Amino acid sequence: MINKIRNILKGLALLRYPETIKVLGEIRLQRLILADIQARFPKAKLSDSIEWVGYESVLFKIGENSQVCQGTVLAFGDVENGFGKILIGDNTWIGQYNNLRSCADGHIRIGRDCLISQFCTLAGSNHSFNRNKLIREQGPDSSRLGVTLKDDVWLGSGVSVMPGVEIGEGCVIGANSVVTRAVPDYEIWAGCPARKIGERK
């Protein structure tokens, strides 16, 4: 009991540091977001270590029996570049440490029964990169926006899906591939940039 009281007092003593207050505030915000989502989608499984960036309830939807695992970043955009949606269908599994980034009109749409392995990136937009301005000062390239995965898609570990890409139903994308163009239904692609290497039978 004495050790427990000692630990509580040590914890309270840390509150004199502004950095501690900031970290605790960020943790509390993430927990409030998670509680809101779990109340709205009680049949989904969401890790408490997901990082929610720019979250608003109207921007996120997840289907029944879908799961998002630990360390995944779900980024919805920002005030400067606008906000986009992340929509996940039923029975989809999103593994650990993935990076899903939407922005204005650069929505991320993931179908039913998909498998997204670890360390994948789905980028809803890229920066413009004209010569006459710093890249970091340029907004999204509006010519290619959004990512769509149709139903029953499997992304291997480390896959990157670039803006403007639609991956068709039943596709398989090999590990560490970079997908830069549309993938027709039931094809198997791999490489950097990814290309067709087979079909599901």
Note the pLDDT tens digit of each residue in 17-63.
778 777 777 888 888 999 999 999 999 999 999 999 999 999 999 99
Phi, psi (deg, nearest 5) at residue 194: -65, 145
Read off the DSSP letter of residue 124: S
**127, 141, 178, 184: the active-site residue:** 127
3-class DSSP state of 194: strand
What is the per-residue pLDDT for 93?
A: 98
Q: Which residue has the higher pLDDT, 82 or 175?
A: 175
> Taking the model in full, what pTM does it have?
0.86
Mean pLDDT for 169-195 is: 98
Residue 57 structure tokens: 């309830």
What is the per-residue pLDDT for 138?
A: 87
The answer to whether 127 is a known catalytic residue is yes
What is the CATH architecture assignment of 14-199? 3 Solenoid (2.160)
Least confident stretch, 12-16, 105-109, 154-158: 12-16
